[in-house]
Every structure is written in C-alpha cells, then in structure tokens.
Amino acid sequence: MSDDFERFRPYLRMLAQCQHDPRIQAKFDPSDIVQQTLLQAHRASDQFEGDTDAQRAAWLRQILARTMKHNVRDLKRQKRDVRRERSLQTDLDASSIRMEKWLVDDQTGPVGRAVKNENLLRATEALDSLSDSQREAIILRYFKGWKLAEIAESMDRTSPMVSSLLRHGLAKLKAQIS
C-alpha cells in the first residue's frame, strides 16, 4: 500500500508548490510537507477505501490539505487574519484540475480516465526532474496563470530569461513525456 502512495510524491510536491505563497514557501519546504503527508497516509492506510489512482490521489490531496493547513496555522498562530483564510482543499483541487487540463484533452470513460491519471503522474515526475528555476517558472505560468512580467519580478530575473526558462523547461517536459 505505501508503494501505491509513494508514486504520488511528485504529484503532491507539485500541488504543494502551487499552493504556497512565496513568503510562506521560504519557511516551508514543499518536500517536507509531502513527506509529512505520506507519513500520515501510511499511518492511516487502513482507512483508505478506494481502488483507483483517482481515488488514491483525492485521498492524498485531502491529507495534503490538512497538513498544509496545520503548518500554516502553526506559523501564523499569533497572526490570524480571517480575511486571508481560504480552503486549501479547494485550492488543491483547483490546482489538480488545472494540471489535468494542461496535460490531457477531455477524455471520457474508464480507459480515458486511466490514461489521464497515468499522464498526470508521468508529467509531475517529469516536472520534478527539471531544474528548480524551470519548474518554478512553469508552475507560476501554467498552474497559477501568472504573466511573464509577474514571474520575472517574483524570480528576480528578466522577462527574456524567464521566457528561456519556460521554453527549455517545456522542451524537456515534452521529451520526457513523449
């Protein structure tokens, strides 16, 4: 069972990276969040009642959302601002949907869903193999929908440099996924 969860590590890391505010990300390593999530999943594996990768991914997203919520809560324990609170589960689900749309056209039926899930896992593994700067640029552009100028400012780089990161990163992804 734990091997079934372990193969979702890149997927969970991508979701964690997509959700973190850059100010918070400096305090939390998404890999640490994912490790905590997988540890919780392993401890509660007897409670998982699904059979498919889609069900497994949804269950792991719920655990990831709780783990992130608890870490952010602990960080902001004294700085709570109700206006800034929002559902991490909703955000994670939305990020997952954006990833799926980015990877695969709408496919129907069990075979189409299985192919879609497998492509999603392969793509997150491929993203995980990119350099940190390429991965960050791709996440900000395609999963968060940031504009090139916003990414350049956030990464403290020029727009042409970010454009190059995106172009080379996408070429590597295409080569690895094909």
pLDDT digits (tens, 9 = 90+) for 88-100: 556 555 555 555 5
What is the per-residue pLDDT across 127-162, written as a single tens digit (0 to 9) for each? 888 998 998 898 888 878 889 999 999 889 999 999
Check whether 107 has a pLDDT greater than 60. no
pTM, to two decimals: 0.59
Mean pLDDT of 29-35: 87
Q: Which pLDDT belongs to residue 24?
A: 60
pLDDT of residue 101: 55
* Mean pLDDT calculated for residue range 97-111: 55
Domain boundaries, given as residue ranges, for the chain: 2-128, 130-178
pLDDT value at 177 more than 90: no
Of 17 and 101, the structure prediction assigns the larger pLDDT to 17
Closest CA to 103 of 174, 18, 4: 174
| pLDDT at residue 35 greater than cutoff 70 | yes
Contact 169, 129 (CB under 8 A): no
Q: Using an 8 Å Cβ cutoff, are 161 and 136 in contact?
A: no
pLDDT over threshold 70, residue 58: yes
Helix (H) or strand (E) holding 59: helix 53-75
Look up the CATH architecture of domain 130-178.
Answer: Orthogonal Bundle (1.10)
Given a contact cutoff of 8 angstroms between Cβ atoms, the answer to whether 60 and 37 are in contact is: yes
Rounded-to-integer distance, Cα 31 and Cα 14, Å: 9
Radius of gyration of the chain (CA): 17
Q: How far apart are CA 63 and CA 48, in angstroms?
A: 11
3-state helix, strand, coil in the chain (%, to 5): 80, 0, 20
